[in-house]
Structure 1
Amino acid sequence: MRETDVKRRAFAMPLTNPAYPPGPYRFVDREYLIITYRTDPAKLREIVPEPLEVNEREALVKYEFIRMPDSSGFGDYTESGQVIPVSFRGREGGYTHCMFLNDEGPIAGGRELWGFPKKLAQPTLRTETDTLIGTLDYGPLRVATGTMGYKHREADLAKVKAALNEPTFLLKIIPHVDGSPRICELVQYRLEDIVLKGAWTGPAALALTPHALAPVAELPVLEIISAVHIRADLTLGLGTVVHDYLQHQARGSTRTNEKALVF
């Protein structure tokens, strides 16, 4: 294979059989169960990276179960994880702390393209009689269970769509071949072309179980604030880099060296 062919074909790994196709990535009938709860603000301070800021007075976490039955390129899969409300230079949004899903393509694509913190696990989202149920199993162990009364009340569609339109922030880390960080960036992305098909709220509960490799319980549930069930079509927009930790470190090192030379 010629070098020009390598450059032309190289958008993902493996070169001759990529784990996912090029975007855009459109999702049809995407279904969410999002349970917002209050947690320990000291735990949030330990987890959320600067320059993102958390509202320590509210100390909120959104636990999400997401069913994706029809996604271009990625197929049919389910996802679960925690998103922390944050602000960045005055803009409100969410920081994706952890994600667990059951499909190789979006795990590889999510990590390589955007920096989604994705790991392999077994989440589910389903309706059982009068209850919407989300679960997350890591190996044979249940680490999260969320429940909500099914479609008890319609939610405010304008508020739900505004929340879906907020930016989300990710910490993208790709190592060099020697194990040192080659990319360490704060990435921002948005959902695009959102068609909101419905949103409902109701009573909810969330149980998190400690696990060494799926530590969702490290952000403990102190109080359930709200829950929402959403159905929508949308496109997952590609990201932009809003903060480069390595360049910032390099500039800081340069200033330190200059001071050393002066003294």
Structure 2
Amino acid sequence: MARVRYGARSEAEIAAARAAGARLPDIWSTGVVAVWESDPDAVAAVLPPPLKPTTRPLVRVNISKVDLPGYPLGAGSFAVAAAHDGVEGWYPLVMPMTHERALIGGREVYGEPKKLGEVTVERDGLVVRAVLARHGIAFVEVRGAVSGDLPLPEPATKTDFYFKFLPGVDGSGFDAGPVLVHCLRDERVRRLERVTGDVVLRESMYDPVADLPVRELVGITLGEKTTGQRGRVVEHVDARALLPYVHQRYDDPRQILDGPPEGSV
């Protein structure tokens, strides 16, 4: 009988796949990173317990083109500063990706809030433009001009916080207890430039990041980096406390009834 590809793999095949994954070469990305101070109450409002705000209500958007072997990937992350058990890091609210391949591992293994979207990073001479878009709405745009080189930072390990869970089959609660994941990212940078510009947040019923306004821009950079990551479950979390935040992971159609933020044009 010809091989049935959906059939069970042998132990040798499984071991070979794991070994190949462990030998992946460095994958470099070119990306724009913008950081700003936002409304402290808004930042606190999006953090599920046991995450807590840090001393500064920072928001970070990362918009990148990733040189994956075989085809390029657009990858984005919109995150707020958070702390847990003495560790400071970032809690991403939405992570648009341009390919399904990038969604699967992140969502299923780590609990990353990845969604299919459009990611644009453009440079024309000194002019830079980076955009995150979904459902035809460019909900984040970073634009500006390169204004000089920056010193390369030392290799560093940064932490992202994720909640890993499965919604209940019966439509309520979870099928198993949700867990909090610390994802450690080992980052090396080979090029870094300062960008003088601004950040535009546009109203979207599906990605309401406009609720986290730019109060004071900390900085914008354009850089090339490679990142490796590893994760660990640090604690089981209270399902009842997490449930009110689950809509962050999905396109909740009820958000269409929400009005735009006060003061928006």
Quickly name the TM-score band, shorter chain normalised: 0.7 to 0.9
Q: What corresponds to 2:200 in structure 1?
A: 207
In the alignment, structure 1 residue 169 sits paired with structure 2 residue 161:
yes
Normalised to the residue count of structure 2, the TM-score between the two structures is 0.76
Partner of 1:129: 125
Which position in structure 2 is the counterpart of 1:81?
77
User: What's 1:143 paired with?
Assistant: 139
Note closer, same or farther for the CA distance 1:226–1:139 as it changes in structure 2 (3 Å cut). Answer: same
Structure 1 residue 230 corresponds to structure 2 residue 230: no
SS in 2 for 1:238: strand
Q: Does the 8 Å contact 1:155/1:201 carry over to 2?
A: no
Does the aligned pair in 2 maintain the 1:26–1:234 contact within 8 Å? Answer: no
| Residue 218 (structure 1) shift | 1.8
CA contact (8 A) 2:152 2:192 kept: yes
Tell me if structure 1 keeps the 8 A contact 2:64–2:75.
Answer: yes
Shift of 1:226: 1.0
Judge which range, 238-247 or 204-213, deviates more.
238-247
Which residue of 2 is the match for residue 244 of structure 1? 236
* Residues 45-80 of structure 1, C-alpha deviations (whole Å, 9 max, x = no match): 11012222212x521101111211225xx9421122
Equivalent-residue separation in structure 2 for 1:132 and 1:8 (angstroms) = 48
Distance change >3 Å, CA 47–CA 7, structure 1 → 2: farther
Which residue of 2 is the match for residue 66 of structure 1? 64
The alpha-carbon deviation at position 243 of structure 1 amounts to: 2.0
Check conservation: 2:50, 2:237, Cα contact below 8 A: no
**Structure 1 segments unaligned to the other structure (5+ residues):** 12-21, 250-263
**2:203 partner SS:** coil
Q: Is residue 179 of structure 2 the alignment partner of residue 185 of structure 1? A: yes
Report the counterpart of residue 50 of structure 2 in structure 1: 51
Shift in CA distance, 234/166, structure 1 to aligned 2, threshold 3 Å: closer
Taking a change above 3 Å as real, the CA distance of residues 186 and 41 of structure 1, as seen in their structure-2 partners, is same
SS, match of residue 221 in structure 1: coil
Distance 1:129 1:88, change over 3 A: same
Superposition RMSD in Å: 2.9
Aligned residues: 228
Paired amino acid for 2:218: I
State the percentage of identical aligned residues: 20
* CA–CA separation in structure 1 for the residues paired with 2:211 and 2:188: 34
Residue segments in structure 2 that go unaligned for 5+ positions in a row: 15-19, 242-265
Q: What's the offset of the Cα at 1:5?
A: 3.5
Q: Is the 8 A contact 2:152 2:189 kept in 1?
A: no
Q: Provide the C-alpha distance between the structure 2 equivalents of 1:217 and 1:23, rounded to a whole number of angstroms.
A: 38
The 8 Å contact of residues 30 and 232 in structure 1, kept in 2 or not, is answered as yes
1:246 shift after superposition: 4.7
Tell me, in whole angstroms, the C-alpha distance in 1 between the residues paired with 2:109 and 2:78.
20
Post-superposition Cα deviations, 1:204-256, rounded to whole Å, max 9, x if no partner, equal 21001010112121211222111222212232x2311112115898xxxxxxx
Aligned residue for 1:113?
109
The one-letter amino acid of 1:141's match is I
Residue 39 of structure 2 corresponds to 40
**TM-score normalised by structure 1 residue count:** 0.76
**CA displacement at 1:106 relative to structure 2:** 1.0
